[in-house]
Structure 1
Amino acid sequence: MIGYDITQPRRLQRVHRAMVDRATPIEYSIFLLVGSERDLAECLAAVRPLIDSRTDDVRCYPLPLRGLQERIGRATLPDGIQWTALPAGVLLDPRSGA
Structure 2
Amino acid sequence: MQYLIGYDISDAKRLQKVHKQMLKYATPIQYSIFLFEGKLKELQGCLNDVLTLIHKKQDDLRVYPLPSNAKQWQIGKPVLPEGIIWTGLPLNSEE
TM-score, length-scaled by structure 1: 0.77
Of 57, 60, 64, the match for 2:63: 60
Point out the structure with max Rg over C-alpha: 1
1:13-52 equivalences under 5 Å are: 13-52=16-55
51, 69, 73: which is aligned to 2:72?
69
Q: Which runs of 5+ in 1 are unaligned?
A: none
Offset at 1:27?
A: 0.9
C-alpha change, 1:29 and 1:37, in structure 2 (3 Å) is same
TM-score of the two chains, using structure 2 as the length reference: 0.79
Secondary structure in 1 aligned to 2:52?
A: helix
CA RMSD, aligned part only? 2.2
Structure richer in helix, relative to its length: 1
Residue 8 of structure 1 is matched in structure 2 by 11
Question: What SS does the corresponding residue of 2:29 show, helix, strand or coil?
Answer: strand
What residue ranges of structure 2 are gaps of 5+ in the alignment? none
Structure 1 residue 74: Cα displacement = 4.8
Q: For residues 29-68 of structure 1, what are the alpha-carbon distances to aligned partners after superposition, in whole Å with 9 as ceiling and x for unaligned?
A: 1111100000110000000010000010000011112212
Identity %: 46
Count of equivalent residues: 89
Extract structure 1 runs of 4+ deviating beyond 4 A.
74-78, 91-95
